[in-house]
Structure 1
Amino acid sequence: MTAGLTARLDRISTNDRYLIVPMDHGLTMGAVAGLKDIESTIDGVTSGGADAVLTQKGIAPRVHANKNDAGYIVHTNGSTTIGPDENDKRMTATAEEAVRAGADAVSLHINVGSTYEPKQIEDLAELTADADRLGLPVLAMAYARGPGVEGDDPEALGHAVRLAEELGADVVKTGYSGDGDSFEHVCESTRLPVVIAGGSRGTDRQTIEMVRGAMDGGAAGVSMGRSIFQHEDPEAITAAVSAVVHDDRDAADALRTAGLVDA
């Protein structure tokens, strides 16, 4: 691992734990709640303890002045909910473009088990090669999705995270298997740091209990979007997640610390 890669991984984490807030959903879903005034949301989540935020490259000018010295990740593929197939993610940026946008890392989404898996494997392999030349970390968002694939199956999730390591990623994001015991298999399937996706927003307690379960199962943190940026108080929910990820608090204590006792 080069000095540059190590330094940039440090910029998107704290003591090898990761709290990343992806906000690339504007491409996918449009300017949904929490993303119209993305500047305020970025300020809130980074004030609450997020290690890094993630957007598409075009939003970079709206990120840097508001991220409170947190790290920045540029996402490099995407699709829309109104297009012919949301699973058909196409490339939107290169590693070099991400560097010009001021990124500390890049990310790419791959649906393992989908009909688009072959092309997305090629895209991830090309991105890791380009990023390696620049000393730029790669976050692979490797989901188990496709015909006959259960997205919370620990075997399928384990395959997805291992694929990310095999192709040269540095950190891998995947779905949660539902409990800490089954998630241990997922984390043991790779030597990469594994972070969980947030998925659709639940209650505050459900969100924090999910984070606690994942950490107990060996996760290195989270990469949570809608559960955080669409919250009524993004700073508070980020603080609650941070209390679990960075301070090893239990769910009830984390909620209480963030002032979300009744959530």
Structure 2
Amino acid sequence: MTPGIDARLERIGTDGKHVIVPMDHGITLGAVDGLRDIESTIDAITRGGADAVLTQKGIAPRVHPNKNGKGYITHLNASTSIGPDSNDKRPTGTVKEAIRAGADAVSFHINVGSNHEPDQITQLAELTAEASEYGIPVLAMAYARGPDVEGDDPEALGHAVRLAEELGVDIVKTGYSGDSESFEYVVESTRLPVVIAGGARGTDRETIEMVRGAMDAGGAGISMGRSIFQHEDPEAITRAVAGVVHDDLSTDEALEVAGLALEV
């Protein structure tokens, strides 16, 4: 890594651990709950302990005045839920555009095992080459998704994160395999920091238990969207997640610190 990449990674994490909240879902799902007044949501989650937020480049002007000095990541590909194939992520920006938008890092989504994998491999390889010229870290959202792929299979997830490392990214996000023991295989498949996605929102306890399991397996944190920005109290759930990631709290301790119900 270069000094620039190292410095910028520190802006989107704390001591090598990351609480990232992606809010690029507006291009995928539309202006869903939590994203219409994205300014208030960004303010809440960064006050709650998020290290960085992530959006598409066009939302950058709404991010910077409300992120309370935290990091910013620009996402550079997308698809929509109403299009012909949501796995067909297409480029939406460049590293130069992300820099102009004030980004500390860029991110890119790749569906390993999908029919679009070949194009996405090429695009991610080109992106890491461009980013390295500017000292900009790359976060790969590397999922195991395709007609013959089980999305929570640890071997498939391990392949996805290793592919990301092979292509030169700096941090990788992937799905959770369901338990800490199987997720160890995923983490051990790469030397990159591995952060987990949240997926569809569950209960507060389910969310925090998943984070705790990922950290126990050697994970480096989270990159969770809907589980956080669609919560009735985004600041509180962020505080609970950050308590596990940054303070090594147990599930009950994290929920209690955040003032969330200790539901069974």
Within 5 Å, give how 1:1-263 maps onto structure 2.
1-263=1-263
Give the letter aligned to residue 35 of structure 1.
Answer: L
How far residue 5 of structure 1 moved from its aligned partner, in angstroms, is: 0.7
Q: TM-score, normalised by structure 2?
A: 0.99
Cα distance between partner residues in 2 of 1:252 and 1:123: 42
CA contact (8 A) 2:112 2:146 kept: yes
Identify unmatched segments of 5+ residues in structure 1. Answer: none
1-10 or 158-167, which deviates more:
1-10
Cα distance between partner residues in 1 of 2:114 and 2:177: 19
How far residue 96 of structure 1 moved from its aligned partner, in angstroms, is: 0.6
Cα distance between partner residues in 2 of 1:262 and 1:247: 19
How far residue 261 of structure 1 moved from its aligned partner, in angstroms, is: 2.4
CA contact (8 A) 2:205 2:262 kept: no
Q: TM-score, normalised by structure 1?
A: 0.99
Give the letter aligned to residue 227 of structure 1.
Answer: S
Quote the RMSD (CA, aligned, Å).
0.5
CA contact (8 A) 1:8 1:136 kept: yes
Cα distance between partner residues in 1 of 2:239 and 2:8: 23
How far residue 42 of structure 1 moved from its aligned partner, in angstroms, is: 0.2
Cα distance between partner residues in 2 of 1:231 and 1:195: 20
CA contact (8 A) 2:197 2:222 kept: yes
Give the letter aligned to residue 69 of structure 1.
Answer: G
Cα distance between partner residues in 2 of 1:17 and 1:227: 19
Q: 3-state DSSP class of the match of 2:72?
A: strand
Aligned length, in residue pairs? 263
Q: 3-state DSSP class of the match of 1:173?
A: strand
Post-superposition CA distance 1:195-217 (Å, at most 9, x none): 00000000000000000000001
How far residue 3 of structure 1 moved from its aligned partner, in angstroms, is: 1.2
Q: 3-state DSSP class of the match of 1:246?
A: helix
How far residue 2 of structure 1 moved from its aligned partner, in angstroms, is: 1.3
Post-superposition CA distance 1:1-24 (Å, at most 9, x none): 211111100000000000000000
Post-superposition CA distance 1:48-104 (Å, at most 9, x none): 000000000000000000000100000000000011111100000101100000000
How far residue 258 of structure 1 moved from its aligned partner, in angstroms, is: 0.1
CA contact (8 A) 1:71 1:104 kept: yes
